[in-house]
Chains A and B, each alone.
Chain A
Amino acid sequence: MSNWAEFFAMGGYGIYVWPSFVIVTVVMVGLALQSWFDLRTQKRLIAELEVISEKEKP
């Protein structure tokens, strides 16, 4: 258990090491999610527009 405490302390540098890892994770995951949501939105818009143009065909 003391091993975990040492691990989190990172030799006193914990306050720098962990925020770096956290912010890198947050930004990368956020970027991936935003990109994926954007793609989903575009797919949905295309589906909607194609339905509408089908309906409008003479």
Chain B
Amino acid sequence: MTWSIHTFASPTRFMAFSSIVLPYVWAAAIAFIAVGMYLALFVSPADYQQGESVRMMYIHVPTAWLSQFGFGLMAFASAIALVFRHPLADVAAKSAAPIGAAFTFLALVTGALWGKPMWGTYWVWDARLTSVLVLFFLYLGYMAIWATIEDPNRAARVAAVLALVGAVNLPIIRFSVDWWNTLHQPASVFRLDGPTIHPSLLWPLLIGAIGFTLFFIAVHLVRMRAEILRRRVRTLQMQRAAT
């Protein structure tokens, strides 16, 4: 697809916009994360049942939230790409995937490390962790399409279809995993978040979650800029090869 003078207006405007906004997003992300982690490690109290291990909640919950957020963002951008063919939409979708996958991986790892003191084993096939594992596979499949199909425009369309099929199937998968988990209910009942979250636990969690989300957005903008430039490079190289 050749970038005409008109379509170039949109990516160019995005490049200008993102270069202005990025420093502030980074600054805000670092600030929120720093405050949140300080509160999490030094200020917030140990839990009545879980002791100090509850501090892992402050990083596990945001990573789990961002793994879902990343996929939602990917699916939304893919829908825009397929329906409206906005040139930036598939750039947004492609850029979000590795970030979402990374946070999904972190959610699994921190979940396992939190699970060991709580449940006694590193891995437990509870409904939540199992669903996150399947989500991780969906991310990997999406990234595999971009890696396998050479033409970026074709890869974009195919990946967009997969993202939407994944988004449609995800509730079904999650329901079935939940259902499966209640069938095989383990002996003791595991409560990850306890009865209600005390305010002294809630604030560090929210601040940290906001910080992590801002970090996601910052990295996303950086990757989108890189992807736009990468396509320009490819166009220039192909033009040179043609002459």
Contact = CB atoms under 8 A, between A and B. Distances in A.
B53 A17 contact: yes
Contacts of A41: 226
Interface in B196-243: 215, 218-219, 222-223, 225-226, 229-230, 232-233, 236-237, 240
A49 B233 contact: yes
Contacts of B109: 20, 23
Interface stretch (B75-83, B113-121, B180-188): B113-121
Q: Please indicate which of the listed interface residues A13, A19, A42 has the most CB atoms of chain B within 10 Å of its own CB.
A: A13
Contact of B236 (A14, A19, A53): A53
- Classify chain A's interface size: 20 to 34
B59 interface: yes
B230 A42 contact: yes
A47 B24 CA distance: 26
A16 B53 contact: yes
B55 interface: yes
- Classify chain B's interface size: 35 or more
Contacts of A27: 102, 105-106
Nearest to A31: B102
A46 B229 contact: yes
Contacts of B67: none
A20 B110 contact: yes
Contact of A24 (B98, B106, B229, B237): B106
A11 B51 contact: yes
B228 to A, nearest CB: 8
Contacts of B232: 42, 46
B99 interface: yes
B60 interface: yes
Nearest to A37: B226
Interface of A: 10-14, 16-17, 19-21, 23-24, 27-28, 31-32, 35-36, 38-39, 41-43, 45-46, 49-50, 52-53
10 contacts: A12-B52, A20-B113, A21-B37, A28-B106, A28-B215, A31-B98, A31-B99, A35-B222, A42-B232, A46-B233
